[in-house]
Amino acid sequence: MGLDLSTSLGNIKLKNPVLVSSGTFGYAQEYKDLVDLEELGAIVTKSITPKAKEGNSPPRIVETASGIINSIGLENVGLDRFIEEKLPFLKGLTVPIIVSIAGENIDDYLTMTERLNDEEISGIELNLSCPNVKSKNNLTFAQDKNEFSKIIKRVRGATSHTLIVKLSPNVTDIREIAQAAEAAGADAISLVNTFLATAIDIERQMPKLGNFTGGLSGPAIKPIALRMVYEVSEVVKISVIGQGGIMNAEDALEFLICGADAISVGTGNFIDPRTSLRIIDGIKDYMKNKRINKLSDLVGSLRV
């Protein structure tokens, strides 16, 4: 019997559980000469906003112990140019395409969702957890449960596309936020986004980032992300995408065993663009060695 690596995110059927994370893989076309895109489980695009954004002032990326802090500020081409210039290439792929969207208010999310309704995409990821976008209470939307739920409910009512909600780890109880997303109509949850962080240049006695704070990602956050994925998978029935410091197959397997239905590679793409493909091969090898024929038998197999 052959290996069955298939999994589902809402109505999206994936041939394997390995995605590439929003903001780390551009619009995918940049990687086409480096990676066989058709081998991926799914592609999540760079987060798109209604209008083009230039992003934050540089420096925008600094290296830290076992990770990086980025303060890109959602730099992107805007919805119109994305649909006209970027989406045609993505539509030419057979791999599922999930478009990540971000905004400053409910109207932004609704406008973008309605525009994307007529496009041949597999799903929409609501980026409600970018540290650079605040709600009226000076929190990210994913830290403000009322605004968070309101946006998800309104978007859910405006589209039949599979709806994935990206959670922030910068909250008191990630389980409460995940349950709110499920109750509001999310088909799947993606976690975690980056941790709010900063770095200081001691010679100049100044921040290393132009924006002072940014999002910490990479291997440094994996143990915390792993704990959060386990906690969330225990309290929701919808699909869970695990991410945060996944650099190799062993990392990915930890998330799957903890209950993630799929995993997403972020910072690893910067180090080796083929990281995701190596992870797919590593998962296959592990399943063969353990005589596990179906990925579903591996997901949530943690013995506590």
Residue 118 burial (C-beta neighbours within 10 Å; 0-12, 13-18, 19+): exposed
Structure tokens at 169: 């780890």
Q: How far is CA 10 from CA 7, 83, 122, 143, 188, in A?
A: 10, 24, 10, 24, 6
Q: Which residues contact 147 (CB under 8 A, 6 or more apart)?
A: 135, 136, 137, 141
Structure tokens at 287: 């399943």
Residue 96 burial (C-beta neighbours within 10 Å; 0-12, 13-18, 19+): buried
Q: Which residues contact 154 (CB under 8 A, 6 or more apart)?
A: 106, 109, 110
Match 């709110």 to its residue by tokens.
180
Give the residue numbers annotated as catalytic, written as ranges.
130
Structure tokens at 243: 């991410």
Distance, in Å, from the CA atom of 194 to the CA atom of 216, rounded to the nearest integer, reads 5
